[in-house]
Amino acid sequence: MKTESFLLKGDLCYSKDSTHLETVANGVLVCLEGRCAGVFPRVPEQYQGLPRYDFSGRLVVPGLVDLHVHAPQYAYRGLGMDMELLDWLNTNAFPEEAKFADLDYAQRAYSLFVEDLRRGATTRAAVFATLHGPATRVLMELLEASGLCAFVGKVNMDRNSPDILREKSAEASARATVEWLEQTAGKYRRVKPILTPRFIPSCSDELMERLAGIQRTFGLPVQSHLSENQGEVEWVRELCPSASCYGDAYASFGLFGGGVPTIMAHCVLSGEEEIAMLRERGVWVAHCPASNTNIASGIAPVRRFLDEGLRVGLGSDVAGGHSTSLFRAMADAIQVSKLRWRLQDQSLKPLTVEEAFWLGTAGGGAFFGPVGSFLPGCELDAVVVDDRRLATTRALTVRERLERVVYLSEDRDVAAKFVQGRQVLPDEKQVYISSQM
């Protein structure tokens, strides 16, 4: 489908950088062939002829980016969270993920997940599937059809899980991965593969070596988990006695940034050396505040990550996190940062709304390229939020309306959505096109 050129009128709100929000009430966003050409107070002369969407009175923000989510865990979100990570995996995640050997089940469960994402404010996501290649292809088909952009990973795991969810050998896991890559190569425009070793406890050294070879051959990005939970970190120390830290275990196989685009979820317990490695190797940290709260992992020092120049975005981490909403993740990130500041470390100031909004848009968006803002040259992902439901007696600024949307909006308030300049919501597209504004 071809990309679009159009004008979009509304109350525009986007990040210039991690601390500065730009707001233009009643502004005009210009999209040329899927990219932002600029934001203007009124329609510039040279763009007078373009089609127009009139979203006057609505808030228009860049699309939200979920840097870490488990699609197969969607069906049990909001359940079974009164335990810590390793018990939670064995009790909830592994039995549910095993069901995706059945393609009918995969179709049913993944359809629910993708429809949820499509209806909400998310425009891009980095997604874990399961170890099953065929079911992972079903997920990729559904995401492609939704119009969203996504990295999707067939999970690799060959140790420390029950027979029903463990690949029989490193060789079998690597072979299934190559097969999945070959079967999906060139099939999708918006959905791309990402190498997904579940985490160190799930992957033997031999498997990690084989995955590094696959990474080099196919030039793939990588996603995994890092330093989420105390028991997990101690286990990795036993499993990898020669690694100087958990991150070094990935790095020793060449699967930790430094030329390999990499997302590591959590980093709650990363120490000095690991934080330095994350920075030096340009690894993206996916901060997942709801998950870290639900399964009592702790609170990542995101203020420090930002101050030290690490790349950071937000993840829903469904179903450790209970909601797919990235607006919720922004509010959660602010709230947990305040608890961390109050209870744990007063040298790290809480996050501001500006910073949380940046994390959920441009911060995570950078993993996808020039994404997550309305600055010229960015790919045009935009969400139109109708905030009139959030009744008030006050006359609010655009900045104040955004703040309330972060805390109070729901998916039903998303009135329209564009990804790379293509409208994906609402289903009745022509409704909003107006000939004058």
Q: Which parts of this chain interact with ligand GUN (CB under 6 A)? A: 70, 85, 89, 93, 198-199, 225, 228, 291, 317, 320
Closest to ligand GUN by CB, 21 or 89: 89
Q: How many CA atoms lie within 13 A of 333 on its CB side?
A: 30
- Min. distance of Cβ 72 from ligand GUN in angstroms? 9
Phi, psi (deg, nearest 5) at residue 123: -115, -20
- Residue ranges in 221-378 assigned as alpha helix (H): 230-239, 246-251, 272-280, 289-294, 302-307, 326-343, 353-358, 364-365
What is the rounded CA–CA span in Å between residue 392 and residue 430? 30
Could you say which of Fe ion, ligand GUN, none residue 267 binds, taking C-beta under 5 to 8 angstroms by partner kind? none
Closest to Fe ion by CB, 9 or 328: 328
Helix, strand, coil % in the chain, rounded to nearest 5: 40, 25, 35
Residue 96 as a binder of Fe ion (CB under 5 A): the answer is no
Q: List the structure tokens of 419.
A: 């990804």
- Min. distance of Cβ 321 from Fe ion in angstroms? 9
What is the rounded CA–CA span in Å between residue 107 and residue 154? 15
Fill in the per-residue mask, 109 to 128: x = in contact with Fe ion (CB under 5 A), - = not in contact.
--------------------
- Min. distance of Cβ 198 from Fe ion in angstroms? 9
Fill in the per-residue mask, 237 to 266: x = in contact with Fe ion (CB under 5 A), - = not in contact.
----------------------------x-
- Min. distance of Cβ 84 from ligand GUN in angstroms? 10
Per-residue burial over 400-433, b if 16 or more Cβ lie within 10 Å, else e, is: ebbbbbbeebebebbbbbbbbbbbbbeeeeeebe
- Min. distance of Cβ 143 from ligand GUN in angstroms? 19
What is the rounded CA–CA span in Å between residue 67 and residue 186? 23
Size of the site for Fe ion (CB under 5 A): 2
Q: Are strands 284-287 and 155-156 parallel, antiparallel or unpaired?
A: unpaired
Fill in the per-residue mask, 18 to 57: x = in contact with Fe ion (CB under 5 A), - = not in contact.
----------------------------------------
Could you say which of ligand GUN, Fe ion, none residue 11 binds, taking C-beta under 5 to 8 angstroms by partner kind? none
- Min. distance of Cβ 383 from Fe ion in angstroms? 24
20 within 8 A of 353, measured Cβ to Cβ: no
Closest to ligand GUN by CB, 207 or 385: 207
Q: What is the DSSP letter of 78?
A: T
Q: List the structure tokens of 184.
A: 């999906």
Closest to ligand GUN by CB, 246 or 357: 246
> Which helix (H) or strand (E) is 411 found in, with range?
none
- Min. distance of Cβ 317 from Fe ion in angstroms? 5
Residue 168, CA distances (Å) to 173, 203, 207, 236, 295 in order: 7, 12, 11, 21, 29
Could you say which of ligand GUN, Fe ion, none residue 314 binds, taking C-beta under 5 to 8 angstroms by partner kind? none
What is the rounded CA–CA span in Å between residue 363 and residue 311? 7
- The one-letter amino acid code at 276 reads A
Of 310-339, binders to Fe ion (CB under 5 A) are: 317
Closest to Fe ion by CB, 317 or 403: 317
What is the rounded CA–CA span in Å between residue 2 and residue 189? 11
Could you say which of ligand GUN, Fe ion, none residue 93 binds, taking C-beta under 5 to 8 angstroms by partner kind? ligand GUN
Closest CA to 337 of 309, 311, 367, 307: 307
- Min. distance of Cβ 435 from ligand GUN in angstroms? 49
Closest to ligand GUN by CB, 207 or 378: 207
- Min. distance of Cβ 291 from ligand GUN in angstroms? 5
Please give the residue ranges that form the binding site for Fe ion (CB under 5 A). Answer: 265, 317
